[in-house]
Every structure is written in C-alpha cells, then in structure tokens.
Structure 1
Amino acid sequence: MNQNQIFNRTRRQLAGWYILVMGLLLSICGVALYQVVIYSQEYILRQKLQSLSGALHDSIEPFLEEPAQMNDNVKKLLPGLCLKGEVCPLTRDVERRHIAGVFQQEGYYLRLTTLSGQVLATVGQQPVGINGKISTEFWQRLENSEGQSFYQISVLLRTHTGASWGYLQIGRSLVEWNNYLTILRLLLILGLPFAMLLIGGASWWLSGLAMRPIYESYRQMQQFTSDAAHELRTPLAVLQSSIEEMRLAKDLEEVSLNLEMMERQNFRLFSLVKDLLLISRIDQQSVLTNIQPCCLNELIIDLVEELQELALSARVTLTADLLIGESILINGEPSQLYRMVSNLITNGIQYTPSGGQITVTLTSTEHNVLIQVQDTGIGISPEELPLIFDRFYRTQSDRARSTGGAGLGLSIASAIAHAHKGSIKVHSQLGKGSLFTIELPLN
C-alpha cells in the first residue's frame, strides 16, 4: 500500500482531516474547560464571600448603636480591627487568626464604611491604590494601581433600632487565582501542539488502518481482473485461430473439426462468464432470491446419483452416508445449495486418482447441520490451504487446466455458504486426501 501513490495521497488527506477535526475539537474543549474553570471558581468565591459576610453581618449588627460610630464590642468581636487614622502593623500571627470563628484574614480583607463610602475601620491586608471613597455596590470586581484584582461584596449594616449604620465590605485578592489561570492557559497553549503531534501520529496510523481493507479490496479487484483477463484470453485466442483456419479450410471435415473446437471454447467462455456473473451477484448480496425450505437428504441423494456417471468415468467410487433418520430442512435457495455441494463433489472427483473413494456425509448438531465431502485424493499442501478459496486460485495448475477448471468452484461454494449464514472448512494432507466440511444453521 505504501508504494501506491493513490492510496498514499488518500491516506495523507484522511490523516490531515483527522488532525484538523481533532485539533478543532481539542481547541473547543480547551476553551470550554477554561471558561468552566473561571465560572466555577467565581461561583465558589461568591458563595464563600456571601457566607462570610452573612455570618459577620449577623454577629456585628446587635452591637451597633449609632450610625457610623464604632464601640468596644465591635472591636472585641473583630480582633485586629484598625480604625481610620491609626497605624496598625499586620504581624504574621495576626494574619493567621480567625475572626468570629469563620473569617481568616490571609488573602482576605474587611472594611467598615459609612453610608457615603468613607472607610471607618479595616481588617487584613487592604488593597493598595483604592483606599479612598469607594463604591458600595453589592458585588464588585476591583483593580488597584498595581494591576492586582479583587473580588468584593458590600452588605448594609443597621443599628439595633433599624437605622442604617454603614456597610460591611469583604474582599478577596485574585492574585493567586489569576496566577493559576495563567498557568492553566500556558498548559493549554503549550499542550495543544504536543497533543497535535500525538494526534498526528495516531491519525496516520488510524488512516492506514482504515485504508487497509479498501486497499485489500482494490488489490483483490486488480488480481481478479488480471485473472479473468488471463482466463478469457486462452479461449478467445483459440476461437480466433479456429476462425482463421476455417477461412483457409478446403474440405468439410476440417471445417467440422474447427467448429467443434469453437463450440468447446464457446462453452468454456459461457461457463466462465456465468460463474463471474454469479460471483458478482454474491458480492452484491443478491444471490438468495428464492429462499424456501430445502431437504438436504434429498439434495445429497440426487447429487450422488447425478454425479455417479462422472465418478465412474474417472474410476472413482462415490457414496452417500446419511446418518440422520429424519429429513433435515434448512432455509435457503435450492439451486445455490445444489451448486455448493456439487462443486465440492466435482472438485473431489477431479483430484482423486483412479481407485479412490469419495464419501458425502450428512449429520446434525443441536443448532447446525454438517455436510462433509471426504476424498482420498492428492491432498493440499499446508501453505496452499489458506488460498484455495481465493478466486482463480488453483493447486497444481497443469492438472486443473486439463480438467477445464478456472479456479472458481471453491470460491463460489464458500460464497454460497456464507450467503446462507454458514461456513466451509477444510482439512487436508498431501497424498492422503481432503475433508471439506460445510456448516449451515438449522431452521
């Protein structure tokens, strides 16, 4: 296949389409994965901030007395609270303490602001560059002067009398998350070419695997065409020679001999064309056109009786051994079943020396029926056994030519068996004979 330019070009095109389609699918999946990760992380962050803000809101509100006024109870509730104007260094110990049992300062920050947005007090590492008057929208995505991003939630606080006190703002730095997304983008971008290399190798292998049966069919078609042309050439050449001799013939006897030769070659051509048409019908799965119950007992008995004359002329004994006491019926086309068994018996007669014996046996199992044709002929060599069912294949070509065979008998028999959902197997030894077994499903 690698030496055929047409199949090589087709294989490259097929592999190229594989790579293109898989590359597009991987790119779409990569983008979708990236968006899903962003959405899921944002959803988790929202849920966590909302949970923290809700817990702190419920803890702080009972201690609020005057709008925008801090008291000692709020300071006790929020360790590390830094009021406006105070310098509050953040130590490592303070960073790791929990606020109200649910809020961890590391990575987070907290603000208490007035209704107008003025900062009253803070906890944690405040984002640099946005410490002035800030927005009090419920959800915000902020960015400071250094390009760092923050996600923030603002919750309205009320005093114990119900008056608006100010806002509680809790935010989370997105630096760590943005770094994670950067790494993920890098992996996706760098991983795509590597994945494409693997896909390229796999695509080349898969395209070769997909082209193999097509190439085998193409090769068999070429071989079939070559063999058919070879088989047709000989009788056509003989016919042409006979016609030329008839033109030069001077007496009726010579003309009669040439006509007899032409008749024989014409019959050979007719048989060959008929077999080729049958093979074509089998390939198109239209060989079974008249399926009906067939009695194999009667079919084998009729065949043995009809082929007795051929067996006697070859000085071969042909017998039938029907081990079944009742009729065996299968669904099939009678003419094709007849042709299948006839081909095997005729093949045995042709390749069995004088004094040999051919036995046709009919047995059955629970689900299948077995037709066996055993001869004491010349046998088949082990290296030829896998090839005998190929079209136009002949063992001992000179002998086959003397019998007028074209090498289609066994291939037709095998095709008919497969058309009836069955199979043909052969066991043979050189000089001892062959055993052909047809296995067909029972009704």
Structure 2
Amino acid sequence: MNQNQIFNRTRRQLAGWYVLVTGLLLSICGVGLYQVVIYSQEYILRQKLESLSGTLHDSIEPFLEQPNQINNNVKKLLPGLCLKGQVCQLPKDVEKRHIAGVFQQEGYYLRLTTLSGQVLATIGQQPQGMNQKISIEFWQQVNSNNGESFYQISLLLRTQTGLRWGYLQIGRSMVEWNNYLMTLRLLLILGLPLAMLLVGGASWWLSRLAMRPIYESYRQMQQFTSDAAHELRTPLAVLQSTIEEMGLAKDLEEVEQNLEIMKRQNRRLSSLVTDLLLISKIDQQKFFTNIQPCCLNELILDLVEELEELALSAGVTLKTDLPINESIMMMGEPSQLYRMVSNLMTNGIQYTPSGGIINITLSCTENYILIQIQDTGIGIAPEELPRIFDRFYRVQSDRCRLTGGAGLGLSIAQAIAHAHRGRITVKSQLAQGSVFTIELPYQNFSPVLPKN
C-alpha cells in the first residue's frame, strides 16, 4: 500500500483532515475550558468576598454611633485595625480570631471609609500607590501603581439610628489568580502543538488501518480482474484459432474436430461466466432466493449417485457414513448447498489417484452440523493451505487446466458456507490425502437474506 500513489495521497488527505478537525475541536475545547475556569474562579472569589463582607457588615453596624467615628467597640471587634496616619501591626493572637485573622492572610485587606471615599482605617496588606480617595462602587477591580490587581466589594454602613456612617471595603489581590490563569494559558498554548503532533501520528496510523481493508479489496479486485481476463483469454484464443483453421479445412472430419474443440471451449467459457456471476451475487448479497428445509442425508446420497460415473472413470471409490435412523435438516438454499458439497467432492475426485477412496461423513455436534469429505489423494503442501480458498488459485495449475477448472470451486464453496453462517476448514498431508470439513449452524439457524 505504501508504494501505491493513489492510496498514499488518500491516506495523507485523510490524516490531514483528521488533524485539522481534531485541532479545531481541541482549540474550541481549550478556549471553552479557559472561559469556564475564569468564570468559576471569579464566581468563587465573589462568593468568598460577599460572605466575608456580609458577616463583617452585620457585626460592625450594631456598634456604630456617629458617622465617620470609630469607637472602641469597633476596635475590639476588629483587633489590629489601623487608623489613618498610624503605623500598625496585627496582634500575635489575631490568627485565633476568625474574622480578623482572614486579613492576615496574604492578599486580603479591609478598609473603613467615609461617605466621600476618604480612608478612616485599614487592616491587612493595602494596595500600594492608590489615591487616598477611592471609588465606592459595589464591585470594583482596582490596580496599584506596580500593576497589581485587586478585586473589592464596598458595602454601606449605617449607625444604630439609621444614619449613613460610611463604607466597608474588602478586597483581595488577584496576583495568585492571574498567575494561575497565566499558567493555564501557557499549558494550553504549549499543549496544543504537542497534542497536534500526537494526533498527527495517531491519525497517520489510523488512516493506515482505515485504508487497509479498502486497499485489500482494491488489490483483490485487481487480481480478480487479471485472473478473469487470463482465464477468458485462453478459450477465446483457442476459439479464434479454431475458427481460422475451419476456413482452411479440407475434409468433413477436420471440420468435425474443430467443432468439437469449439464446443469444449464454449462449455468452459459458459462454466466460467456462470461461476463469475455466482461470485458477483455472493458479493452483492443477492444470494438466497429459495430458502427452505433441506435434508442433508438425501442431498449427499443424490450427489454420490450423480458423481458415481465420474468417480468410476477416475478409478476412485465413493463411500458414505450417514446417520441411519435420523434425518439431519437445516434451513438453506438447496441448490447452493448442493453445489458446495459437489465442489468439494469433485475436487477430491480430481486430485485422488486411481484406486483411491473418498469418504463422505455426516454427523452432528451440539451446535453444528459437520460434513467431512476425506480423500486419499495427493495432499496439499502446508505453505499452500492458507491460499486454497482464494479465487483462481490452483495447487497444480497444469492439472486443473486439463480438467477444465478455473480455480473457483473451493472459493465458491467457502462463500456458500459463509453465507449460511458456517465455514470450511481443511487438514492435509502430502501424499496422504486431505480432509475438508464443512461446519454449519445446527440450532436456531437464520441465513443471510438479500438486502432490499
């Protein structure tokens, strides 16, 4: 297949399209994954800030008395609260306090501001280089002078009497989150080419597997066409030369000889065309036309009677071993089952020397009907056994030509067995004979019916 330009080009195109489509799908999935991660991370961050700010808001408001005034109760509630203009550090025991301990974690901060946005007090690591007057929007993303981003939430605080006190702002640095997204982007950007390389290699291998059955069919079709043309050419050439000789014939006897040659070649051509048409029907699954119960005992006895004369002329004895008190029945195409067994018996007669014996046995197992045709013929070499069911293949081509065979008998027999959901196997030894075994389903048999 690698040396065939058509299949190589098709293989490259198939692999290329596979890589292109897979790459497009991976890109879409990567972008989708990135967007989902951004959305989920933002959602989680908002949920955390909303939960924390809501808890602090509800805890602080009961202690607020005057707008823009921070009393001792607020300071006790928020240990480590650093008023404007002071340099403060969180107490050592602040980690033990659930609310304030959050702001000792890296990235979190808290602000208390006036209604106009002036900072009154802070806790935690504050963004560097920001204006003293800051925005009081509910959700806001702010940036410091060093490029660090923060996500913050602002909540309005009221005094005990309901007056507007100021704002509570809680924020978190987005450095860790941005680093995570950067790592994810890097993995996606570097992972896509690597994935495409792996997909390219896999697609090249898969395209070979996909093309192999097509190539095998193509090769068999080429071989079949070549063999069929070769088989047709010989009798046609004989007919052509015989017709030319008839024009030069000088007496009636020579004309009769030429006519006999033409008649024999015509029979050979007719037989070959019939076999080719049968093979075509098998390939197209237009095979069964008359499904009915078949008695295999009677089928074998009829065949023995029909082939007895051919066996006697070849000096071969036909013997049978059939069940006496049991008729073995199966559903199938009678004429094709007849032909299947006939081809094997005829093959045995042709390849068995004079004085040989062909024994036909019919038996049953739990699941199969077994028909065995055992001969004492010339046998088949081990290296030829795998190919004897190939179309137009001959074990001894010269002898087959003398008997008029085209090398289709065993191939047709195997095709008929497969169509009946069975198979034919063979065991053989040179100079000792061969045993062909037909295995057909015995229970719940359902043949392969033609397609509509």
Aligned to 2:169: 169
The answer to whether the Cα contact below 8 Å between 2:112 and 2:121 also exists between their aligned partners in 1 is: yes
C-alpha separation in 2, matches of 1:134 and 1:243:
113
Deviation for aligned residue 1:270:
0.6
Aligned to 2:375: 375
The answer to whether the Cα contact below 8 Å between 1:11 and 1:204 also exists between their aligned partners in 2 is: yes
Deviation for aligned residue 1:353:
0.8
Deviation for aligned residue 1:59:
2.2
- Greater Cα offset, 223-232 or 164-173: 164-173
Fraction of identical pairs, as percent: 79
The answer to whether the Cα contact below 8 Å between 2:114 and 2:167 also exists between their aligned partners in 1 is: yes
C-alpha separation in 2, matches of 1:91 and 1:432:
102
- Once the two structures are superposed, the pairs formed by residues 63-74 of structure 1 within 5 Å of their partners are 63-74=63-74
Aligned to 2:403: 403
Deviation for aligned residue 1:157:
2.2
C-alpha separation in 2, matches of 1:104 and 1:312:
109
Note if 1:280 corresponds to 2:257: no
Deviation sequence 1:393-432 (CA, Å, 0-9, x none): 0101111111111000000000011111111111111111
C-alpha separation in 1, matches of 2:181 and 2:372:
72
Note if 1:100 corresponds to 2:99: yes
The residue identity in structure 2 corresponding to 1:200 is G
The answer to whether the Cα contact below 8 Å between 1:98 and 1:104 also exists between their aligned partners in 2 is: no
C-alpha separation in 2, matches of 1:356 and 1:267:
28
Q: Which runs of 4+ in 1 moved over 6 A?
A: 91-97
Deviation for aligned residue 1:96:
6.5
Deviation sequence 1:375-399 (CA, Å, 0-9, x none): 1111111111100000000101111
Note if 1:123 corresponds to 2:123: yes
Aligned to 2:449: none
The residue identity in structure 1 corresponding to 2:245 is E
The answer to whether the Cα contact below 8 Å between 1:79 and 1:99 also exists between their aligned partners in 2 is: no
The answer to whether the Cα contact below 8 Å between 2:103 and 2:123 also exists between their aligned partners in 1 is: no
Structure 1 gaps, min length 5? none
Q: Aligned pair in 2 of structure 1 residues 322, 92: CA closer, same or farther (>3 Å)?
A: farther
Deviation sequence 1:88-144 (CA, Å, 0-9, x none): 3x5796997755266243211111122332221111111123343223222222223
- Once the two structures are superposed, the pairs formed by residues 299-378 of structure 1 within 5 Å of their partners are 299-323=299-323, 325-378=325-378
Q: Aligned pair in 2 of structure 1 residues 94, 116: CA closer, same or farther (>3 Å)?
A: farther
Equivalences, count: 442
Deviation sequence 1:160-182 (CA, Å, 0-9, x none): 33333222111111111111211
C-alpha separation in 1, matches of 2:155 and 2:90:
27
C-alpha separation in 2, matches of 1:324 and 1:219:
48
Q: Aligned pair in 2 of structure 1 residues 98, 175: CA closer, same or farther (>3 Å)?
A: farther
When normalised by structure 1's length, the TM-score is 0.95
Q: Aligned pair in 2 of structure 1 residues 266, 129: CA closer, same or farther (>3 Å)?
A: same
- Once the two structures are superposed, the pairs formed by residues 20-419 of structure 1 within 5 Å of their partners are 20-88=20-88, 90=89, 100=99, 103-105=102-104, 106-323=106-323, 325-419=325-419
C-alpha separation in 2, matches of 1:95 and 1:230:
99
Q: Aligned pair in 2 of structure 1 residues 346, 92: CA closer, same or farther (>3 Å)?
A: farther
Q: Aligned pair in 2 of structure 1 residues 102, 331: CA closer, same or farther (>3 Å)?
A: farther
The answer to whether the Cα contact below 8 Å between 1:80 and 1:94 also exists between their aligned partners in 2 is: no
Structure 2 gaps, min length 5? 446-452
Deviation for aligned residue 1:23:
0.9
C-alpha separation in 1, matches of 2:223 and 2:326:
45
Q: Aligned pair in 2 of structure 1 residues 373, 102: CA closer, same or farther (>3 Å)?
A: farther
The answer to whether the Cα contact below 8 Å between 1:95 and 1:124 also exists between their aligned partners in 2 is: no
C-alpha separation in 1, matches of 2:335 and 2:141:
84
C-alpha separation in 2, matches of 1:289 and 1:155:
86
C-alpha separation in 2, matches of 1:112 and 1:209:
70
Secondary structure of the structure 2 residue equivalent to 1:384:
helix
C-alpha separation in 2, matches of 1:418 and 1:379:
24
Deviation sequence 1:334-365 (CA, Å, 0-9, x none): 11111111101111111111111111111112
C-alpha separation in 2, matches of 1:340 and 1:421:
13
Deviation for aligned residue 1:324:
6.2
C-alpha separation in 2, matches of 1:336 and 1:92:
99
Q: Aligned pair in 2 of structure 1 residues 74, 395: CA closer, same or farther (>3 Å)?
A: same
C-alpha separation in 2, matches of 1:91 and 1:19:
58
Deviation for aligned residue 1:12:
0.8
Aligned to 2:450: none
- Greater Cα offset, 98-107 or 218-227: 98-107
Q: Aligned pair in 2 of structure 1 residues 265, 107: CA closer, same or farther (>3 Å)?
A: same
Note if 1:16 corresponds to 2:22: no
Secondary structure of the structure 1 residue equivalent to 2:69:
coil
The answer to whether the Cα contact below 8 Å between 2:94 and 2:101 also exists between their aligned partners in 1 is: no
Secondary structure of the structure 1 residue equivalent to 2:272:
helix
Note if 1:439 corresponds to 2:439: yes
- Greater Cα offset, 136-145 or 284-293: 136-145
- Greater Cα offset, 433-442 or 258-267: 433-442
C-alpha separation in 2, matches of 1:338 and 1:125:
96
What's the RMSD between the two structures over aligned residues? Answer: 1.8
C-alpha separation in 1, matches of 2:93 and 2:22:
52
The residue identity in structure 2 corresponding to 1:32 is G
- Greater Cα offset, 125-134 or 357-366: 125-134
The residue identity in structure 1 corresponding to 2:143 is E
Secondary structure of the structure 2 residue equivalent to 1:240:
helix
C-alpha separation in 1, matches of 2:17 and 2:162:
69
C-alpha separation in 2, matches of 1:405 and 1:240:
21
C-alpha separation in 2, matches of 1:272 and 1:44:
79
Aligned to 1:427: 427
- Greater Cα offset, 288-297 or 372-381: 288-297
When normalised by structure 2's length, the TM-score is 0.94
The residue identity in structure 1 corresponding to 2:63 is F
C-alpha separation in 1, matches of 2:17 and 2:246:
62
